[in-house]
Chains A and B, each alone.
Chain A
């Protein structure tokens, strides 16, 4: 056993990881069954931050991620968009990452156009697009949107869009929702928007697993709600789609269950990781006992 493990080709480990993710995906995809989710406090505070808004309130959604992190953040983007649309909030989409606009397009196509076809572009939602500069963009738009976003993503002048007449800066927003994969992202929104204007700007965020532990010091004073990694996405999906589908006796569409579905392979892969760490330590302790250098 020790010899087999000691000389194990790492490609066997790769194969085990592949199977531990692939097999649950196939089983869950075929059976439609996934593990139950129990939301935690942070998911509730994020959910309630949007629930507490009134129809017509203004929400800025900043999609600061790209395809590399879509696995974790895509479900959050979908759920946030659905929740805001269902609550009849005015949605202002923007991006600090160059590929963010593609993520915005996906959210608009897959959520708003499919389930909220009555929403009118320019009156209920607007896509302001991407601007380069990261924290430099936040620094400008907390006091003046128009200087940078002179048009929306389609080239329509900023003030020609009806819903833009109500805003001049981020401080006019009732809530800022940020979905972040790195820099520029949630940390920069906290540093350059929330901290200088704590009474005017409220921020909730969804972030990757790598970032989540680093953002906990901001909770709850500067960041009242945070969804961390795919677990946060799954918890939030449970809260949103329980309210708008299950509680009304309707079946939740598959495209709104991505986060919950991905928790299945997560569980098996996590168990594999624990097993691998135990196996690695088994080798270590055997070597220590044998006095191997």
Chain B
């Protein structure tokens, strides 16, 4: 085994040992839940009441059909320890194997993605493949349950949807929704081996609608309103006294807007007076881009910070800023 491979093997072995010791001795990377019981009784035809609620007092629940289940809420290690110390037999707090496994899976995925910084490798490719598959399916599921069921099928056939998915839904069928249904089926024809021209109709509708919405939105908010917002006083007065700096900055703003617009006007050659004006415009744009770079850097670093917080807080238990555990480090 060559030297580099040996070093990496030792590093990984020490790291893995450290993680195992950290997990076994301090419970690092573990998750806890609180179980919440729900029980409902059928008091009248079609009427279920929560047996714990005030409404249940109005009914005799003896012998009534019941539905029960337990759901879980996330709990902290501190809650779990306190309930253990209370030695209550009815403690609802317990260790969650699925969520603990999930934290370790999330940490591994985070490290797999970060491993790309060193070198492209199969772990990164695996993580990348998983995210592509999961995110595409996630969007499909969200689109289906949040829009297609309530806003398409729920409008076309409220009684059918209310029978199984959305019991509270009511109303008359609105057959105008056949239009988006038919357009939607035509859109899916794009996947067919032939006849993809059929998908042009819904695409044309999407593009036409987008163009129509954007035309008005951009002209009103980004053109007319911006011109109006630029009409600001060149001489600013407050309580009768002239404010020099406010007036100067307003003048700079107007000069900046006008010169930068001149720069973007490419129908005239940028020579002579126009050229010099455009040059001033470029200077304003360079300051704009410098500000954009500074803010972009700020944005990116915050994203890295939250990932490292997850690794150090939820996985390795090195820090505990939210005081989720009785004994942090």
Is there a direct interface between A and B, measured as CB atoms under 8 Å apart in the complex? yes
Q: Show the binding face of A for B, using Cβ within 8 Å.
A: 11, 14, 17-18, 21-22, 25-26, 28-30, 32, 68-72, 74, 98-99, 101, 109, 129-132, 135-136, 139, 148, 150-151, 153, 155-157, 160, 188, 190-192, 194-196, 208-210, 212-214, 217-218, 221-222, 228-231, 253-255, 257, 261-262, 265-266, 269-270, 273
| Cβ-based interface call for B275 (8 A) | no
B319 touches A230 (CB 8 A): no
Residue among B291, B320, B321 having the largest count of chain A Cβ atoms under 10 Å = B321
Task: Determine the residue in chain A with the shortest Cβ distance to B149.
Answer: A155
B139 touches A192 (CB 8 A): no
Shortest distance from the beta carbon of A66 to any chain B beta carbon, whole Å: 10
Kindly supply a per-residue 1/0 record for chain B positions 153-190, scoring 1 wherever the CB is within 8 Å of any chain A CB and 0 otherwise: 01100000000011111110000000000000000000
CA distance A191 to B106 in the complex (A): 38
A209 touches B218 (CB 8 A): no
B302 touches A217 (CB 8 A): no
| Contacts beyond the supplied A130-B147, A160-B168, A266-B301: 16 A-B pairs with Cβ under 8 Å | A29-B312, A132-B147, A136-B209, A150-B155, A150-B171, A194-B221, A209-B297, A209-B298, A217-B229, A221-B225, A229-B298, A229-B299, A229-B302, A230-B299, A261-B321, A262-B302
Interface residues of B in 280-308 (CB under 8 A from A): 288, 291-292, 295-308
CA distance A213 to B171 in the complex (A): 46
Q: What residues of B have a CB within 8 angstroms of the CB of A156 in the complex?
A: 168
Task: Determine the residue in chain B with the shortest Cβ distance to A74.
Answer: B306
Q: List 5 A-B contacts (CB under 8 A).
A: A21-B305, A22-B312, A109-B74, A131-B147, A157-B169
Task: Determine the residue in chain A with the shortest Cβ distance to B73.
Answer: A109
CA distance A190 to B218 in the complex (A): 10
Interface residues on B, range: 35 or more
Shortest distance from the beta carbon of A121 to any chain B beta carbon, whole Å: 14
CA distance A210 to B147 in the complex (A): 30
| Cβ-based interface call for B220 (8 A) | yes
Q: What residues of A have a CB within 8 angstroms of the CB of B16 in the complex?
A: none
B299 touches A25 (CB 8 A): no
Task: Determine the residue in chain A with the shortest Cβ distance to B319.
Answer: A29
B295 touches A209 (CB 8 A): yes
Known: A262-B305, A262-B306, A270-B297. A213 touches B139 (CB 8 A): no
- The main secondary structure of chain A at its interface with chain B is helix
- The main secondary structure of chain B at its interface with chain A is helix
A265 touches B301 (CB 8 A): yes
| Cβ-based interface call for B233 (8 A) | no
Q: What residues of B have a CB within 8 angstroms of the CB of A21 in the complex?
A: 301, 304-305, 308
A135 touches B217 (CB 8 A): yes
| Cβ-based interface call for B323 (8 A) | yes
Known: A230-B298, A230-B302. A25 touches B217 (CB 8 A): no
| Cβ-based interface call for B202 (8 A) | no
Shortest distance from the beta carbon of B259 to any chain A beta carbon, whole Å: 16
Shortest distance from the beta carbon of B147 to any chain A beta carbon, whole Å: 5
Residue among B288, B292, B307 having the largest count of chain A Cβ atoms under 10 Å = B292
Q: What residues of B have a CB within 8 angstroms of the CB of A28 in the complex?
A: 319, 321
Task: Determine the residue in chain A with the shortest Cβ distance to B214.
Answer: A135
Kindly supply a per-residue 1/0 record for chain B positions 134-158, scoring 1 wherever the CB is within 8 Å of any chain A CB and 0 otherwise: 0000110011001100110011000
Q: What residues of B have a CB within 8 angstroms of the CB of A229 in the complex?
A: 295, 298-299, 302
Q: What residues of A have a CB within 8 angstroms of the CB of B309 in the complex?
A: 25, 29, 262
Q: What residues of B have a CB within 8 angstroms of the CB of A131 in the complex?
A: 146-147, 151
CA distance A214 to B328 in the complex (A): 42
Q: What residues of B have a CB within 8 angstroms of the CB of A157 in the complex?
A: 168-170
| Cβ-based interface call for B11 (8 A) | no
Closest 9 CB pairs of A and B: A29-B319, A209-B299, A71-B306, A191-B217, A254-B322, A195-B221, A230-B302, A191-B221, A209-B295
Q: What residues of A have a CB within 8 angstroms of the CB of B209 in the complex?
A: 136
Shortest distance from the beta carbon of B54 to any chain A beta carbon, whole Å: 13
CA distance A129 to B168 in the complex (A): 16
A148 touches B299 (CB 8 A): no
A270 touches B305 (CB 8 A): no
Select which of A132, A148, A151 is within 8 A of B143 by beta carbon: A132
CA distance A190 to B225 in the complex (A): 11
B117 touches A11 (CB 8 A): yes
A210 touches B139 (CB 8 A): no
CA distance A18 to B111 in the complex (A): 13
Q: What residues of A have a CB within 8 angstroms of the CB of B167 in the complex?
A: 155
B323 touches A254 (CB 8 A): yes
Known: A29-B321, A155-B169, A191-B218. A98 touches B142 (CB 8 A): yes
CA distance A22 to B214 in the complex (A): 43
